[in-house]
Amino acid sequence: METIVVVVHVIVAIAIVGLVLLQQGKGADAGAAFGSGSSQTVFGSAGSGNFLTRSTAIAATIFFMTSLSLAIFAKQNTSAGVIDGLPIVNPALLEQSAAPVSDIPQVESSAPAGDTSDIPVVNGDAGN
């Protein structure tokens, strides 16, 4: 069903482009384009405006309906969103297991005996 709607959508889109390009500008008439002065015999005595305008309106209505249908199809085919797809985690467990992570090495709290330096000793450097 979705494939049929896509095909109709593309055909109607091309038809709208063609119909808009066929329409004449304000003040121009179809007969002048074919070299016959001011006669409008190409689309009948009423001229092309009524036929092309009505055809464009019908094509635009079909285009809007197929656009709405494709949007509904797209909504039905989507999976869960980013937030909906995340697992549910108990916040209390996160606080217990999470230890502060730091790139700064831990400093020993007591200096070795006999060291009177003001520089703190970093883990692993106590022998130097």
pLDDT of residue 23: 84
Q: Domain residue spans in the chain?
A: 2-21+39-77
- Please give the helix or strand (H or E) that residue 32 lies within, else none: helix 30-33
pLDDT tens string 3-61: 999 999 999 999 999 999 988 776 655 555 555 555 445 556 555 568 888 999 999 99
pTM of the model as a whole: 0.48
Rounded distance, CA 89 to CA 18, Å?
Answer: 56
